[in-house]
């Protein structure tokens, strides 16, 4: 009888651990852990707002259905860009440039948020293990804490010491990070941002001269190329245009990777207790 009780208890604990692990996996898969984090939540709200605004604007400008407009904005901000729908008016192209840049920045910010929020979870778990009564668990916790050479992440500095208007400070910090204003203050990051801007302008001039496109279409093509969206509504037709596309396409990848590296470096220093 006692053996049966032990078996049932073991089976129940195994099922509980499996369900806990499954819930943890699903919460990470669908970013539920980010929704629970005060620092990440405004970024998620901004993403939802951006998608809703884009859906309404493209429905009005292009006379697409709401479903097609939602589909287009998601394909744009996620940089998928199938090309079955593409903007046809100058204002639509300007808005696509805006949403395309916002999409790539949002993705970079999301990568950084996921890294920081989930590292905080690991640090918290390690700290809990160090306070355990079980010697083996405590030893594992101490070893895990030592292996994480970097200090524990914290909320933005203005939030850390602010008891008045915490929501205002949180929104200010969020918008600063969304529009990469903190990178502009960093001397090592300014070069990457300046290079990205100069590359877009120089590329637009080059395509304007080589392919004979309008300057707006050339800017639009550069943004769609460098953000890796690539609708296909504008494509180079001349040999020199294709050579330039190869060059600027590769530059786009380098710029995106460099931006993510600078975001990680700047916000890693900014968000950690020294």
Looking at the domain assignment, is residue 11 inside a domain?
no
Distance CA 51, CA 69 (A): 9
Question: For residue 157, is pLDDT > 50?
Answer: no
Q: What percent of the chain has pLDDT above 90?
A: 42
pLDDT at 58: 97
Looking at the domain assignment, is residue 21 inside a domain?
no
Question: For residue 274, is pLDDT > 50?
Answer: no
pLDDT at 248: 95
Looking at the domain assignment, is residue 17 inside a domain?
no
pLDDT at 165: 46
List the domain range (segments joined by +) for residue 76.
Answer: 30-270
Looking at the domain assignment, is residue 18 inside a domain?
no
pLDDT at 226: 93
Question: For residue 153, is pLDDT > 50?
Answer: no
The CA R_g of the chain, rounded to the nearest whole Å, is: 24
Distance CA 214, CA 44 (A): 36
Question: For residue 221, is pLDDT > 60?
Answer: yes
Question: For residue 163, is pLDDT > 60?
Answer: no
Under the banding of pLDDT at 50, 70 and 90, the label for residue 162 is very low
Looking at the domain assignment, is residue 221 inside a domain?
yes
Distance CA 70, CA 52 (A): 8
DSSP code per residue over 119-156: HHHHHHHHHHHHT-SSHHHHHHHHHHHHH--S--B-S-
pLDDT at 65: 96
Question: For residue 189, is pLDDT > 80?
Answer: yes
pLDDT at 184: 86
Looking at the domain assignment, is residue 178 inside a domain?
yes
Distance CA 182, CA 114 (A): 18
Q: Residue 181's closest CA among 156, 201, 203, 204?
A: 156
pTM of the model: 0.77
pLDDT tens digit sequence for 58-105: 999 999 999 999 999 999 999 999 999 999 999 999 999 999 998 888
Average pLDDT over residues 203-220: 96
Residue of 111 and 88 predicted with greater confidence: 88
pLDDT at 160: 43
Distance CA 44, CA 23 (A): 21
Average pLDDT over residues 156-179: 57
Q: C-alpha distances in angstroms, 52 versus 38, 58, 70, 73?
A: 22, 10, 8, 9
Distance CA 96, CA 85 (A): 12
* Structure tokens, 55: 């859906």
pLDDT at 52: 96
Average pLDDT over residues 54-58: 96
CATH number at residue 112: 1.10.287.70
Looking at the domain assignment, is residue 150 inside a domain?
yes
Average pLDDT over residues 249-257: 92
**Which of 65-74, 129-138, 151-160 is modeled with the greatest confidence?**
65-74
DSSP code per residue over 47-83: HHHHHHHHHHHHHHHH---HHHHHHHHHHHHTT---S
Helix axes 215-226, 239-270, angle to 10 degrees: 60
Looking at the domain assignment, is residue 19 inside a domain?
no
Domain tally, the chain: 1
pLDDT at 12: 78
pLDDT tens digit sequence for 3-36: 666 677 667 777 777 777 777 777 777 777 777 7
* Structure tokens, 214: 């309008």
Q: Residue 234's closest CA among 257, 253, 210, 202?
A: 210
pLDDT at 126: 67
Cα pseudo-dihedral 197, 203, 204, 210, rounded to 10: 170
């Amino acid at each position: 009888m006692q053996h049966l009780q032990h078996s049932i208890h073991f089976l129940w604990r195994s099922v509980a651990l499996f369900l806990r692990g499954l819930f943890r996996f699903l919460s990470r898969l669908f970013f539920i852990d980010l929704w629970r984090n005060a620092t990440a939540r405004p970024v998620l709200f901004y993403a939802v707002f951006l998608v809703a605004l884009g859906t309404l604007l493209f429905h009005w400008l292009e006379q697409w259905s709401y479903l097609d407009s939602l589909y287009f904005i998601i394909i744009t901000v996620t940089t998928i860009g199938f090309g079955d729908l593409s903007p046809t008016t100058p204002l639509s192209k300007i808005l696509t440039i805006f949403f395309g840049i916002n999409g790539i920045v949002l993705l970079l910010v999301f990568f950084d948020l996921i890294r920081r929020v989930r590292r905080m979870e690991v640090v918290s778990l390690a700290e809990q293990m160090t306070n355990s009564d079980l010697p083996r668990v405590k030893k594992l916790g101490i070893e895990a804490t030592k292996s994480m050479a970097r200090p524990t992440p914290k909320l933005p500095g203005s939030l850390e010491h602010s008891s008045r208007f915490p929501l205002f400070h949180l929104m200010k910090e969020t918008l600063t990070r969304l529009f990469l204003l903190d990178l502009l203050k960093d001397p090592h990051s300014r070069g990457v941002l300046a290079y990205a801007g100069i590359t877009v302008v120089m590329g637009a001039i080059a395509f304007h001269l080589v392919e004979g496109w309008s300057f707006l279409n050339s800017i639009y093509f550069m943004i769609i190329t460098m953000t890796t969206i690539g609708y296909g509504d504008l494509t180079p037709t001349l040999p020199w245009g294709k050579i330039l596309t190869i060059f600027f396409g590769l530059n786009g990848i380098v710029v995106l990777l460099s931006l993510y590296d600078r975001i990680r470096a700047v916000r890693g220093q900014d968000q950690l207790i020294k």
